[in-house]
């Protein structure tokens, strides 16, 4: 049974993803491969993500040959726990983080867990929260419904627009 889904934006991304496929084969880990373009088929992409758990998928590995930066993590209720950022171009991951922050704010997700208060994250506006306060916030957020607009890209939100305000996005 597949527990990992490998999703690519186009068949041409297979070369990029081949090392992951080879590793999963060597380890004997079940996986499925899908070619879905989020740009050309956003509804199919959304359904792919929403149905993953029902199909037994525990991990999604996404690849796109032109991806230059971003971040990934885990969403629980209205809490996003950032795992890592990557960048193939200067500041690309920062744009990805800015876009995520704007959307999470518009969806009324009040907390992103960035794990540790690194100088990089502090420079981007992160704040250290005392452990007990953090744990209380986690308890309150993980069981909340993510909301009807969660994980839907809002074209009116732009991460680099200094005039954007959360109230304007509602």
Residue 12, domain CATH: 3.40.50.1970
Asked if 58 and 142 sit in the same domain, the reply is no
Same-domain check for residues 123 and 107: yes
| Residue with more model confidence, 87 or 51 | 51
Same structural domain for residues 104 and 60?
no
In the chain, how many domains are there? 2
Helix (H) or strand (E) holding 17: helix 14-27
The residue among 55, 115, 45, 43 whose CA lies nearest residue 79 is: 115
pLDDT tens track for 3-38: 788 888 888 888 878 888 888 888 888 899 999 877
Residues 15, 40 within the same domain: yes
Task: Examine the domain organization and report whether 5 and 82 are in the same domain.
Answer: no
**Token representation of residue 105:** 């704010």
Please indicate, yes or no, whether residues 25 and 60 belong to a single structural domain of this protein: yes
Percentage of residues of the chain with pLDDT beyond 90: 18
Domain boundaries, position 9: 1-67
Phi, psi values for residue 62, rounded to 5°: -110, 140
pLDDT at 68: 61
Last residue of a domain, one of 67, 87, 105: 67
| 81 alpha-carbon distance from chain centroid | 9
Q: pLDDT at position 166, please?
A: 47
* One domain, residues 77 and 15: no
- Give the DSSP letter of residue 144: S
Count Cα neighbours of 88 within 13 Å in the Cβ-side half-sphere.
Answer: 6
Query: Do 78 and 53 share a structural domain?
Result: no
Residue where a domain stops, chosen among 67, 100, 124: 67
Both tokens assigned to 90: 């200067």
pLDDT tens per residue across span 125-157: 889 999 999 999 999 999 999 988 888 767 777
Q: What pLDDT is attached to residue 88?
A: 65
DSSP collapsed to 3 states, 58-79: CEEEEECCCCCEEEEEEEECCE
- My answer on whether 151 and 162 are in the same domain is yes
């Amino acid at each position: 049974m597949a527990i990992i889904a490998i999703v690519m934006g186009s068949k041409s991304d297979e070369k990029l993803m081949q090392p992951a496929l080879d590793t999963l084969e060597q380890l004997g880990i079940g996986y499925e491969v899908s070619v879905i373009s989020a740009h050309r088929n956003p509804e199919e992409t959304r359904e792919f993500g929403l149905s993953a758990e029902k199909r037994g998928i525990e991990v999604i590995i996404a690849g796109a040959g032109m991806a230059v930066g971003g971040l990934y993590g885990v969403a629980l209720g209205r809490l996003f726990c950032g795992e890592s950022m990557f960048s193939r171009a200067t500041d690309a991951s920062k744009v990805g983080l800015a876009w995520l922050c704007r959307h999470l704010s518009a969806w009324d997700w009040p907390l992103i867990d960035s794990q540790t208060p690194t100088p990089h994250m502090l420079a981007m506006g992160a704040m250290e929260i005392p452990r007990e306060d953090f744990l209380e916030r986690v308890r309150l957020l993980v069981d909340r419904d993510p909301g009807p607009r969660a994980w839907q890209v809002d074209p009116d939100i732009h991460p680099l627009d200094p005039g954007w305000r959360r109230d304007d996005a509602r």
